[in-house]
Amino acid sequence: MTLQSATSVQRPLRIALRWLLVTLVAALLTVMTVQIVMRYGFNSSLLWAEEMCRYMLIWLTFLAVVLAFERGEIAAIGFLASALPRVPALLVTIFGISLSLLLCILLTWYGWIYAERAGQSSIPAVGFILESIFGSPGPAAPGRFWVYVSLPLGMALVALRLVADLVICIRAIGAGQSVEDIFERDMLEVME
């Protein structure tokens, strides 16, 4: 896979993720605004609003970490690679990416196990919504699995990005490129 074809695959996914995040933020702000108006304007409250906002924030966090990573907004220690010659700098970068990839794989694996084990109970907020719409014996609310699965999904997306970075760094050794060359070009593509 060439860098150009990798970029052509990543761009639509990045755009879709941005729109999903914008939609989640809009929904979150809407629910929070309605809750504030109901609570302070009408001395009433939506029973499910705070819990739903919490779950939306959790999903926002683990999906937005992918874009934050791509934009270089995640803490990184790059001074060692920038102080080394080209090939050792690439090797140190490959080692760091490999460790990060291992961490993401572990978080994906154990996050999924946790979501399966702890996610069996239903989400009370959704239960309230379904009960108010359909009546007392409403449809069953989904389990908390759908909240907990945000961690393994977000970490899997970061892991995919790390695999792409790893391949780019390995190819850069033979192509005569430096760490600064490949990641500077990569940042320009992300900022588009």
Residue % of the chain over a pLDDT of 90: 35
| DSSP code, position 152 | H
pLDDT, one tens digit per residue, over 140-176 is 777 889 889 999 999 999 999 999 889 988 888 887 7
What DSSP string runs through 5-68?
HHHHHHHHHHHHHHHHHHHHHHHHHHHHHHHHIIIIISS---TTHHHHHHHHHHHHHHHHHHHH
Residue 115: the pLDDT is 93
Task: Say if CB 64 and CB 151 are below 8 A apart.
Answer: no
In this predicted structure, the answer to whether residue 5 has a pLDDT above a threshold of 60 is no
State the residue range of the domain holding 119.
3-191
Which tokens sit at 32?
């929070």
Residue 82: the pLDDT is 73
Q: Using CA of residue 78, residue 79, residue 84, residue 88, what is the dihedral sign?
A: negative
Our count of domains for the chain comes to 1
Residue 48: the pLDDT is 81
**Average pLDDT taken over every residue of the chain:** 83
Average pLDDT for 135-141: 74
- pTM, entire model: 0.80
Euclidean distance between CA atoms 29 and 94, whole angstroms? 40
